[in-house]
Amino acid sequence: MKLFTKYSRVNLLATVIIFLLSATAFYFAIRYILINQVDNDLKIEEKEIETYVKEHNTLPEPIPVKDQKISYALSRKYFPERKFITTKAVVEDNAYRVLQFGIVTNGSVYTATVAKSLKGTDDLTQSILLISLATILLILGTSLFINRVLLKRLWKPFYTSLAVLKNFRVDKKQTLNLPPTDIDEFAFMNQALQKTTDQAQQEYLLLKEFTENASHEMQTPLAIIRSKLDLIIQNESLSEDQSKAMQSAYDAIEKLSRLNQSLLLLTKIENNQFAETANINLKQRLKEKLDAFHELWQNQNISVSSSLEDTTVQLNNELTDILLNNLLSNATRHNFSNGSIKIVLRARKLEISNSSKEKELNSQQMFSRFLSQNKTGGYNGLGLSIIKQICDVSGFTVQYLFANNQHQFTLSW
């Protein structure tokens, strides 16, 4: 439920109740006052009759006046009680206000009845009720209108800010462009949003910068360690055990430096440092790669079949190289001797499948960094992340399929 729907519901309900209550109170108050007025008129009439009787010692002739009836009746038993009555029984069905009082003339006791029609009074109260109702309806209508139009306009900056915030991404270098507003609450909100998102962006940049710097800073010590190893092995007197230890150290340094390079690469891709694209003849590039990998496959007795169609894609030159290297390395690394690799290039997709002793990959986690389920040799678990990241920035989709013990990666664009 929208905020102002809820608000106007409560508001309308309260307004209706207050108006009904006040209309009722008004009705009774007006009625009381008007009847009081009529009673006063009746009392004046009573006075006149009594004065007349005192002067003339006879009952006055009832003069027919509109809305007023006077009658006399002989009272036999006792002096009648003076009383006001509201009744409909006087003439037809109209309501009348009646004053009965006793009067004595010529030794006889009469009951005088003066009745005044309440028709005017009823008309008045009715009009008052009508006016009240009309006012309620009018106020309800106006309030609805205000809610619909005015509130909508008033809340507009809020919804605009919301829409801007929805499109905000912490990894994109964009500032939050919130519209200026003269409403304090929204201005405060925008200020807070601006501050929070700025801060998030800044922290994100710092973190990214940190990763990048850390990787860069690691290059030099790695270079030093490697160069020292290269120097140490020149020593003729190294024993076989020492040589083995040196080999382990070499392998570890190699792994570390590859890991570092992969991390740097991922950061760069995220930083959009490979935004420049060109028309890439994928068939030709794949052929070059197949040539480069040929010896490797021959060595492991891996049979490779390929079916390549002429295909041109929009890609970054460097990323194409890295992507194909990663895909083919992946298919090679997880293969076995006498295994197979199949490469199919069509107009809108590239399929690379390979045999492997490994079981199906968890498609939920396979692209997560460092989550490779089986770390083979120097593999650092970033290969698939890099493939995914390159596909993401290039507008490609990458799918994984496992069937007949074949791992298949399909890139489509």
Partner 1 sequence: MKVLIIEDEKELSESISAYLANEQFVCERTFDFNSSMEKIAMHDYACIVLDVNLPGGSGLDILKELKNQDKTDGILIISARNSLDDKVFALNIGADDYLTKPFHLPELAARVNAIIRRKAFEGKNEINCNELKLDLAEKNVKVHDNPVDLTKKEYEMLLYFVSNKNRVISKNAIAEHLWGDNMEVSGNYDFIYTHIKNLRRKLIHAGAADYIKSIYGMGYKFSI
Nearer to partner 1, 109 or 246 (CB): 246
Nearer to partner 1, 82 or 216 (CB): 216
What's the token pair of residue 189? 């909100």
- Are 286 and 309 contacting, i.e. CB atoms less than 8 angstroms apart? no
CB of residue 354 to partner 1, shortest distance in Å: 14
What's the token pair of residue 11? 């508001």
Sign (positive or negative) of CA dihedral 143, 148, 150, 156 = positive
Q: What is the rounded CA–CA span in Å between residue 342 and residue 348?
A: 17
Q: How many residues does the chain have?
A: 413
What's the token pair of residue 3? 């905020």
Which of 375, 407, 410, 372 is closest to 391 using CA atoms? 410
Q: What is the rounded CA–CA span in Å between residue 303 and residue 305?
A: 7
Nearer to partner 1, 219 or 284 (CB): 219
CB of residue 230 to partner 1, shortest distance in Å: 4
DSSP at 366: T
Q: What is the rounded CA–CA span in Å between residue 384 and residue 70?
A: 110
Pairing of strands 312-315, 340-346: unpaired
Judged by the rule CB under 8 A, the positions of this chain that interact with partner 1 are 216, 219-220, 222-231, 233-234, 238, 240, 243-244, 246-247, 250-251, 253-255, 257-258, 261, 264, 268, 273, 292-293, 295-296, 299-300, 317-318, 321-322, 325-326, 329, 332-333, 376-379, 383
Nearer to partner 1, 92 or 240 (CB): 240
Nearer to partner 1, 185 or 254 (CB): 254
CB of residue 406 to partner 1, shortest distance in Å: 21
What's the token pair of residue 282? 């994928």
CB of residue 156 to partner 1, shortest distance in Å: 46
* Amino acid type, 316: N
CB of residue 286 to partner 1, shortest distance in Å: 15
CB of residue 185 to partner 1, shortest distance in Å: 48
Query: Which whole-number Å values give the CA distances from 134 to 16, 25, 137, 141, 142, in the listed order?
Result: 12, 17, 5, 10, 12
Nearer to partner 1, 326 or 353 (CB): 326
Q: How many CB atoms lie within 10 A of CB 96?
A: 23
CB of residue 262 to partner 1, shortest distance in Å: 9
Nearer to partner 1, 38 or 366 (CB): 366
